[in-house]
Amino acid sequence: MSIALAEDVAYVRFSAPDLDVMRKFLLDFGLTEVGSGAEGLFVRGAGDAPFIHATELGEPGFRALGIRLSSLADLERLAAEENVAIAPLAAPGAGFVARLTDPDGHVVEAVAGQTMAQPAPIEAQTPWNDARAYERLRAVKRIGGGPARVVRLGHCVLNVSDFRASECWYKERFGFITSDEIRAGPDVAFGAFLRCDRGETPTDHHTLFLAQSPRGPGFNHAAFEVIDLDDLMRGHSHLEATGRKLAWGVGRHFLGSQVFDYWRDPWGHALEHWTDGDLFTAADGSNVATIQDLLGVQWGPAIPPDFG
């Protein structure tokens, strides 16, 4: 039994020396500003999370991962077990936060009691025609230009120094379930895709991926769901036209099955657009996968050597 249950990833928090530069990138990426001031810059997607990316003023870097818990009671139990204080969350949606530190020094902000936002309207998409079903008749399809429409934050990937130690830490506190454990040999595991335990409610193939990296611990990337493939490709064209740096894509992963498109923010952090990912319940269990499964693609370009 874990101390608490994670309901979802809540947000990622960064610092940057120029909030205006970060703001312009995030708007090009398809996010919407919901607040800025002494506490920093906050942006949201079209979903119900009050914010999903925050930036404070400072030297560029990753500052924290936010994990939303199932209840305030879970937050109180976790804070008591960790002997840390619960504080008001000074951010859109308010709520409460307990700040933990994982075995590699990553700050994990466990949050509960946020006031969720009213989801933004998402216009109906014109149907696709394919060889199995022609659903668009006597009408044209026009996508239009502009950024992708980010709906929500889907997952975060952290590089760690000792996978088993980190896996134990996160599972004991947040109740994560392994979807796919990555092994280099029969008894050599160096990473895993972890999903939330939401019982019979389907949840993303992974909310957190922990990867033991020869480069040492640190932030790897954060992934934001967009509406669909057309939206992802529109966003790709917009980011390309505005001179943003492509990191990897477009392609489709094996593990999780997402169509992916990775970009770099102005300080080199990788942020992913994705769509069409797998969903599982707690009863669907766990699998073992290989390095080839992890790094390979069903279609699209191979992973670049500098992706990290």
Q: What is the pLDDT of residues 188-223, one digit of tens each?
A: 999 999 999 999 999 999 999 999 988 899 999 999
Q: What is the pLDDT of residue 35?
A: 85
Residue 130 pLDDT > 80, yes or no? Answer: yes
pLDDT digits (tens, 9 = 90+) for 257-276: 999 999 999 999 999 999 99
pLDDT confidence bin for 185, thresholds 50/70/90: confident
Amino acid at 88: P
pLDDT confidence bin for 124, thresholds 50/70/90: confident
Sketch the domain layout of the chain as residue ranges: 6-115+149-299
Q: What is the pLDDT of residue 187?
A: 84
Element (DSSP H or E) covering residue 97: strand 96-101
Closest CA to 12 of 88, 63, 75: 63
CB 213 within 8 A of CB 163: no
Q: What is the pLDDT of residue 37?
A: 77
* Spatial distance between the Cα atoms of 53 and 51, rounded to a whole number of angstroms: 6
Lowest mean pLDDT among 185-189, 215-219, 302-306: 185-189
**pLDDT, averaged across the chain:** 96
CATH number of 6-115+149-299: 3.10.180.10
Q: What is the pLDDT of residue 306?
A: 85
Residue 98 pLDDT > 80, yes or no? Answer: yes
Residue 308 pLDDT > 80, yes or no? Answer: no
Please classify residue 93 by burial: count the beta carbons closer than 10 Å to its beta carbon, then call 0-12 exposed, 13-18 middle and 19+ buried: buried
DSSP state of 120: P
Q: Name residue, tokens 């014109």.
A: 126
Question: What value, to the nearest 5°, has the Cα angle with vertex 257 and ends 52 and 192?
Answer: 70
Question: What average pLDDT does range 40-46 have in this prediction?
Answer: 97
